[in-house]
């Protein structure tokens, strides 16, 4: 499942994280101890890969696409209705993965403590609301439309920061927000127009009515997901100051506390009859679906690691731009791997959404530079949103062992 995946959901939120990175030498690789002998070639070759900015960017983009595509593959099954079970499997896989990495000395995070779990439990409940509505929206909508609508979460977060943390929004940010709304309207219009093809009468009938009903359900779930996502991120920002969690601490507690709730919801709210299990996991694709569920859980860990890797090797500015540009290949993946409609409207919506992300990233970069110039890098009351958020990828440099 993973903290990064839940902000996802965060490809739309990756800009929110990237803008808050320090503009200097954060995530610089630690000096490697010199080695001698014939075995030194392997560490040198590995070092050249781990310190390559191009590879880190492609790894981050690839892991983001992998997560979205694997989730969509499982959820797009004709009769799949075990969303809580899917999320529980992803959480379990994530816990096993990060615990294994901790045992292997690759990462570090704090051990479980009941008092910290009690403080963090409300955040985990908000997380469950966010990820469940995310799976329902992705189940009903195509990947391009889902990706475009996720931009609206950024608007809610921005104005949530204004209301609760005393920030402000610049004119260029307002322009990006307008483009985000416009891209969502174009995407919805293109989707509905495609669904209505072949319907000649004024009254919707047959396949067209079913398609429109599916889209309407998707839009409702998407709206709920945007609100849940913004609430989760804003609440986590406030709560994380009390716990001083780093990213792997957040990932660990989020997944660990979510597992029992997700399992209970699945057992009591979902149909575990043999007939329904056979519908969800047809014999001919059962093994592949199970493998994809596990892979989707691992992909969230990949995203968390590659996000930190990208910031360490490049800069916060580059990471912000990568977060914006990354929406384009994710949206295109829906056109390539799934039967998403390719029309002038859908392509136009993807382009406008892509531009809105770039404009927002540039606005935040300019804002960060202006604040650094006006206040000497210190937190101040400049014209923009606050730049201090503990739950960002920056915190992973304290967890990762280079």
pLDDT digits (tens, 9 = 90+) for 317-362: 566 667 767 777 888 887 777 777 778 888 888 888 888 888 888 8
Highest average pLDDT, of 21-30, 133-142, 207-216, comes from 133-142
pTM of the model: 0.77
Predicted pLDDT of residue 24:
34
Predicted pLDDT of residue 379:
39
Predicted pLDDT of residue 84:
94
Domain residue spans of the chain: 3-19+54-398
Predicted pLDDT of residue 133:
94
Minimum mean pLDDT range among 115-129, 150-164, 198-212: 198-212
Minimum mean pLDDT range among 12-26, 66-80, 352-366: 12-26
| Mean pLDDT for the stretch of residues 311-315 | 69
Minimum mean pLDDT range among 55-59, 92-96, 182-186, 305-309: 305-309
| Mean pLDDT for the stretch of residues 3-25 | 40
Local confidence band at 399 (pLDDT 50, 70, 90 cut-offs): very low
Examine the pLDDT at 277 and tell me if it is beyond 50: yes
| Mean pLDDT for the stretch of residues 34-45 | 49
Higher-scoring residue by pLDDT: 368, 150: 150
User: What are the b/e assignments for 126-158, b being 16+ CB within 10 Å?
Assistant: bbbbbbbbbbbbbbbbbbbbbbbbbbbbbbbbb
Predicted pLDDT of residue 380:
40
């Amino acid at each position: 499942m993973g903290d990064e995946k839940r902000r996802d959901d965060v490809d739309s939120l990756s800009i929110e994280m990237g803008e808050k990175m320090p503009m200097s030498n954060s995530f610089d690789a630690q000096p490697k101890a010199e080695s001698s002998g014939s075995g030194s070639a392997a560490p040198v070759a590995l070092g050249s890969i781990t310190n390559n900015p191009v590879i880190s960017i492609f790894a981050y983009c690839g892991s983001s696409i992998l997560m979205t595509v694997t989730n969509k593959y499982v959820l797009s099954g004709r009769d799949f209705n075990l969303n809580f079970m899917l999320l529980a499997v992803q959480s379990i896989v994530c816990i096993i993965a990060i615990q294994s990495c901790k045992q292997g000395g690759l990462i570090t995070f704090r051990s479980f403590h009941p008092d910290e779990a009690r403080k963090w439990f409300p955040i985990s409940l908000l997380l469950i609301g966010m990820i469940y509505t995310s799976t329902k929206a992705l189940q009903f909508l195509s990947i391009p439309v889902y990706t475009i609508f996720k931009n609206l979460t950024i608007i809610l977060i921005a104005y949530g920061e204004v209301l609760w943390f005393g920030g402000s929004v610049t004119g260029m940010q307002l322009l990006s927000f307008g483009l985000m709304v416009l891209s969502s309207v174009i995407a919805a219009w293109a989707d509905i127009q495609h669904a209505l093809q072949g319907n000649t009468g004024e009254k919707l009938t047959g396949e067209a009515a079913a398609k429109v009903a599916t889209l309407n359900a998707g839009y409702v779930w998407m709206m709920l997901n945007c609100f849940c996502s913004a609430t989760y991120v804003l609440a986590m920002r406030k709560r994380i100051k009390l716990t001083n969690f780093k990213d792997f601490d957040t990932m660990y507690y989020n997944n660990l506390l979510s597992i029992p709730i997700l399992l209970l919801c699945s057992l009591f709210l979902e149909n575990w009859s043999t007939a329904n299990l056979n519908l969800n996991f047809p014999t001919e694709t059962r093994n592949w679906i199970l493998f994809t569920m596990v892979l989707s859980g691992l992909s969230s860990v990949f995203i968390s690691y590659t996000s930190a890797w990208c910031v360490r090797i490049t800069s916060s500015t580059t990471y912000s731009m990568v977060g914006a540009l990354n929406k384009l290949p994710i949206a295109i993946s829906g056109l390539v791997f799934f039967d998403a409609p390719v029309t002038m409207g859908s392509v136009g919506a993807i382009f406008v959404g892509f531009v809105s992300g770039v404009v927002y990233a540039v606005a935040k970069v300019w804002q960060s530079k202006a604040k650094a110039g006006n206040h000497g890098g210190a937190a101040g009351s400049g014209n923009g949103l606050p730049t201090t958020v503990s739950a960002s990828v920056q915190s992973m440099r304290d967890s990762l062992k280079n």
